[in-house]
Structure 1
Amino acid sequence: MTDETLGPGWERAAALDDVPEGEVAGVQVGGQPVALYKVEGELYATHDICSHEHAHLSEGYLDGCEIECPLHQARFDIRTGQAMCKPATGPVAVYPVRIVGQDIFINLTPAA
Protein backbone atom coordinates (compact mmCIF):
# COMPACT_ATOMS: atom_id res chain seq x y z
CA MET A 1 0.00 0.00 0.00
CA THR A 2 1.33 3.43 -0.93
CA ASP A 3 0.36 6.89 0.25
CA GLU A 4 -0.02 9.44 -2.54
CA THR A 5 0.52 12.37 -0.15
CA LEU A 6 4.11 11.24 0.45
CA GLY A 7 5.00 11.02 -3.22
CA PRO A 8 6.49 8.19 -5.25
CA GLY A 9 8.49 5.41 -3.66
CA TRP A 10 6.88 5.44 -0.21
CA GLU A 11 5.36 2.16 0.95
CA ARG A 12 3.61 1.14 4.15
CA ALA A 13 5.91 -0.98 6.31
CA ALA A 14 3.95 -1.51 9.54
CA ALA A 15 1.68 0.03 12.13
CA LEU A 16 3.25 2.19 14.85
CA ASP A 17 2.16 -0.37 17.46
CA ASP A 18 4.17 -3.07 15.65
CA VAL A 19 7.46 -1.52 16.82
CA PRO A 20 7.60 -1.05 20.62
CA GLU A 21 10.11 1.35 22.18
CA GLY A 22 13.61 -0.16 22.33
CA GLU A 23 12.69 -3.01 19.99
CA VAL A 24 13.33 -4.11 16.41
CA ALA A 25 10.81 -5.65 14.02
CA GLY A 26 11.49 -7.47 10.76
CA VAL A 27 9.05 -6.76 7.91
CA GLN A 28 8.81 -7.20 4.16
CA VAL A 29 8.38 -4.05 2.07
CA GLY A 30 8.17 -4.32 -1.68
CA GLY A 31 9.60 -7.83 -1.42
CA GLN A 32 12.65 -6.57 0.50
CA PRO A 33 13.57 -7.54 4.09
CA VAL A 34 13.54 -4.42 6.29
CA ALA A 35 14.33 -3.96 9.99
CA LEU A 36 12.37 -1.25 11.82
CA TYR A 37 13.67 0.17 15.10
CA LYS A 38 12.25 2.55 17.70
CA VAL A 39 14.80 4.28 19.94
CA GLU A 40 13.83 7.16 22.24
CA GLY A 41 10.65 7.70 20.24
CA GLU A 42 12.46 7.90 16.87
CA LEU A 43 11.89 5.36 14.11
CA TYR A 44 14.68 4.02 11.92
CA ALA A 45 14.78 1.53 9.04
CA THR A 46 17.64 -0.50 7.58
CA HIS A 47 18.03 -3.42 5.25
CA ASP A 48 17.39 -6.48 7.43
CA ILE A 49 20.30 -8.58 6.15
CA CYS A 50 23.79 -8.25 7.67
CA SER A 51 26.44 -7.11 5.18
CA HIS A 52 28.85 -9.78 6.47
CA GLU A 53 26.73 -12.94 6.35
CA HIS A 54 23.14 -13.73 5.51
CA ALA A 55 21.54 -13.14 8.92
CA HIS A 56 18.48 -11.10 9.84
CA LEU A 57 19.43 -8.07 11.91
CA SER A 58 15.87 -8.00 13.25
CA GLU A 59 16.77 -11.18 15.16
CA GLY A 60 19.75 -9.45 16.77
CA TYR A 61 20.27 -7.40 19.91
CA LEU A 62 19.40 -3.68 19.88
CA ASP A 63 21.60 -1.58 22.18
CA GLY A 64 20.74 2.11 21.89
CA CYS A 65 21.29 3.03 18.25
CA GLU A 66 23.35 -0.08 17.45
CA ILE A 67 22.05 -3.44 16.27
CA GLU A 68 24.18 -6.54 16.83
CA CYS A 69 23.92 -9.31 14.25
CA PRO A 70 22.82 -12.60 15.84
CA LEU A 71 25.28 -14.65 13.77
CA HIS A 72 28.79 -13.21 14.30
CA GLN A 73 28.10 -10.15 16.52
CA ALA A 74 28.88 -7.52 13.89
CA ARG A 75 27.35 -4.19 14.97
CA PHE A 76 25.76 -1.45 12.86
CA ASP A 77 24.65 2.11 13.62
CA ILE A 78 20.94 2.10 12.73
CA ARG A 79 21.04 5.85 11.95
CA THR A 80 23.79 5.63 9.33
CA GLY A 81 24.08 1.92 8.47
CA GLN A 82 27.83 2.02 9.15
CA ALA A 83 29.52 -1.14 10.40
CA MET A 84 30.83 -0.47 13.91
CA CYS A 85 33.02 -3.56 14.32
CA LYS A 86 34.30 -6.64 12.55
CA PRO A 87 33.58 -9.05 11.10
CA ALA A 88 31.38 -6.64 9.09
CA THR A 89 33.24 -4.01 7.12
CA GLY A 90 30.49 -2.80 4.80
CA PRO A 91 27.40 -0.81 5.75
CA VAL A 92 23.75 -1.81 5.50
CA ALA A 93 21.29 0.36 3.59
CA VAL A 94 19.34 2.93 5.63
CA TYR A 95 15.86 3.95 4.48
CA PRO A 96 13.91 7.18 5.08
CA VAL A 97 10.95 6.80 7.47
CA ARG A 98 7.70 8.79 7.65
CA ILE A 99 4.63 8.44 9.86
CA VAL A 100 1.14 8.89 8.43
CA GLY A 101 -1.58 8.53 11.05
CA GLN A 102 -0.79 5.25 12.80
CA ASP A 103 1.25 3.80 9.93
CA ILE A 104 4.99 3.66 9.26
CA PHE A 105 6.04 4.30 5.67
CA ILE A 106 9.52 3.87 4.23
CA ASN A 107 11.13 4.65 0.92
CA LEU A 108 13.27 1.77 -0.36
CA THR A 109 15.60 4.21 -2.06
CA PRO A 110 18.52 4.27 0.40
CA ALA A 111 19.03 7.56 2.21
CA ALA A 112 22.06 9.60 1.21
Structure 2
Amino acid sequence: MSESPDAAASQPVVLADADDIQEGGRKEVVVENRKIAIFNVDGQCYAVNAICPHRGGPLIRGTLDGYRLRCPIHGWAFDIRTGDSNGRPHDLEIFPLRCENGRLVAEV
Protein backbone atom coordinates (compact mmCIF):
# COMPACT_ATOMS: atom_id res chain seq x y z
CA MET A 1 0.00 0.00 0.00
CA SER A 2 1.23 3.46 -0.84
CA GLU A 3 -0.16 6.30 1.23
CA SER A 4 0.62 9.99 1.05
CA PRO A 5 4.38 10.64 1.46
CA ASP A 6 4.05 12.50 4.74
CA ALA A 7 1.05 10.90 6.41
CA ALA A 8 1.82 12.69 9.70
CA ALA A 9 1.33 16.05 8.01
CA SER A 10 -1.85 15.08 6.16
CA GLN A 11 -4.99 17.08 6.83
CA PRO A 12 -8.66 16.12 6.45
CA VAL A 13 -10.13 17.74 3.33
CA VAL A 14 -13.68 17.59 1.95
CA LEU A 15 -13.36 16.24 -1.59
CA ALA A 16 -17.01 16.07 -2.67
CA ASP A 17 -20.56 15.47 -1.55
CA ALA A 18 -21.20 11.74 -1.29
CA ASP A 19 -24.23 12.10 -3.58
CA ASP A 20 -22.00 13.53 -6.34
CA ILE A 21 -20.55 10.11 -7.14
CA GLN A 22 -23.14 7.44 -7.80
CA GLU A 23 -22.31 3.73 -7.81
CA GLY A 24 -20.04 3.02 -10.78
CA GLY A 25 -19.21 6.72 -11.07
CA ARG A 26 -16.00 8.68 -10.82
CA LYS A 27 -14.92 12.25 -10.23
CA GLU A 28 -11.64 14.14 -10.33
CA VAL A 29 -10.96 16.95 -7.86
CA VAL A 30 -7.97 19.21 -7.28
CA VAL A 31 -6.66 19.82 -3.76
CA GLU A 32 -3.65 22.12 -3.38
CA ASN A 33 -2.56 21.50 -6.99
CA ARG A 34 -2.92 17.72 -6.58
CA LYS A 35 -5.36 15.82 -8.77
CA ILE A 36 -7.31 13.19 -6.87
CA ALA A 37 -9.62 10.65 -8.51
CA ILE A 38 -12.60 9.28 -6.61
CA PHE A 39 -14.26 6.04 -7.70
CA ASN A 40 -17.48 4.49 -6.38
CA VAL A 41 -17.36 0.69 -6.57
CA ASP A 42 -20.34 -1.24 -5.16
CA GLY A 43 -21.42 1.78 -3.12
CA GLN A 44 -17.99 2.33 -1.53
CA CYS A 45 -15.83 5.31 -2.54
CA TYR A 46 -12.05 5.22 -2.93
CA ALA A 47 -9.68 8.17 -3.44
CA VAL A 48 -6.37 7.82 -5.29
CA ASN A 49 -3.77 10.01 -6.93
CA ALA A 50 -5.26 10.80 -10.35
CA ILE A 51 -1.84 10.71 -12.03
CA CYS A 52 -0.25 7.35 -12.85
CA PRO A 53 3.01 6.96 -10.88
CA HIS A 54 4.71 5.24 -13.81
CA ARG A 55 4.04 7.37 -16.89
CA GLY A 56 1.87 10.21 -15.64
CA GLY A 57 -1.31 9.06 -17.37
CA PRO A 58 -4.71 10.49 -16.39
CA LEU A 59 -6.17 7.66 -14.31
CA ILE A 60 -9.63 9.25 -14.27
CA ARG A 61 -9.81 8.11 -17.93
CA GLY A 62 -8.62 4.59 -17.12
CA THR A 63 -10.78 1.50 -17.27
CA LEU A 64 -12.08 0.06 -14.03
CA ASP A 65 -12.75 -3.66 -13.69
CA GLY A 66 -13.94 -4.34 -10.17
CA TYR A 67 -11.24 -2.73 -8.04
CA ARG A 68 -8.53 -2.84 -10.74
CA LEU A 69 -7.89 0.53 -12.37
CA ARG A 70 -5.96 0.36 -15.63
CA CYS A 71 -3.90 3.32 -16.88
CA PRO A 72 -5.09 4.53 -20.30
CA ILE A 73 -1.51 5.14 -21.48
CA HIS A 74 0.35 1.90 -20.81
CA GLY A 75 -2.17 -0.48 -19.28
CA TRP A 76 -0.65 -0.97 -15.84
CA ALA A 77 -3.35 -1.92 -13.32
CA PHE A 78 -3.66 -0.76 -9.73
CA ASP A 79 -5.94 -1.89 -6.92
CA ILE A 80 -7.82 1.26 -5.87
CA ARG A 81 -8.26 -0.12 -2.34
CA THR A 82 -4.56 -0.65 -1.62
CA GLY A 83 -2.59 1.00 -4.43
CA ASP A 84 -0.93 -2.33 -5.27
CA SER A 85 0.44 -2.60 -8.82
CA ASN A 86 0.88 -6.40 -8.96
CA GLY A 87 4.49 -6.39 -7.81
CA ARG A 88 5.61 -3.63 -10.14
CA PRO A 89 7.89 -0.94 -8.67
CA HIS A 90 5.32 1.89 -8.77
CA ASP A 91 2.33 1.55 -6.43
CA LEU A 92 -0.53 4.03 -6.64
CA GLU A 93 -0.88 6.62 -3.88
CA ILE A 94 -4.16 6.23 -2.02
CA PHE A 95 -5.94 8.54 0.40
CA PRO A 96 -7.96 7.23 3.37
CA LEU A 97 -11.55 8.26 2.68
CA ARG A 98 -14.58 8.47 4.94
CA CYS A 99 -18.08 9.90 4.78
CA GLU A 100 -18.95 12.62 7.31
CA ASN A 101 -22.34 14.32 7.24
CA GLY A 102 -22.85 13.35 3.60
CA ARG A 103 -19.42 14.57 2.51
CA LEU A 104 -16.41 12.56 1.37
CA VAL A 105 -13.40 13.48 3.49
CA ALA A 106 -9.83 12.33 2.78
CA GLU A 107 -6.52 12.72 4.54
CA VAL A 108 -4.46 14.65 1.98
Extract unaligned runs of 5+ from structure 1: 1-7
Aligned residues: 99
Structure 1 residue ranges (4+ consecutive) displaced by more than 6 angstroms after TM superposition: none
Q: Is the 8 A contact 1:12 1:29 kept in 2?
A: no
* Residue in 2 that maps onto 1:3: none
Aligned partners of 2:23, 2:89: CA distance in 1, in Å? 28
Q: Is the 8 A contact 2:62 2:69 kept in 1?
A: yes
Percent sequence identity over aligned pairs: 31
TM-score, normalised via structure 2 length: 0.83
Residue deviations 1:13-49 (CA, integer Å, cap 9, x gap):
1111221212222111232111111111111111111
TM-score, normalised via structure 1 length: 0.80
The answer to whether the aligner puts 1:13 opposite 2:15 as a matched pair is yes
* Residue in 2 that maps onto 1:4: none
- Higher RCO (CA-CA < 8 Å; seq separation 6+): 2
Aligned partners of 1:78, 1:97: CA distance in 2, in Å? 12
Extract unaligned runs of 5+ from structure 2: 1-9
* Residue in 2 that maps onto 1:102: 102
Aligned partners of 2:52, 2:40: CA distance in 1, in Å? 19
* Residue in 1 that maps onto 2:89: 89
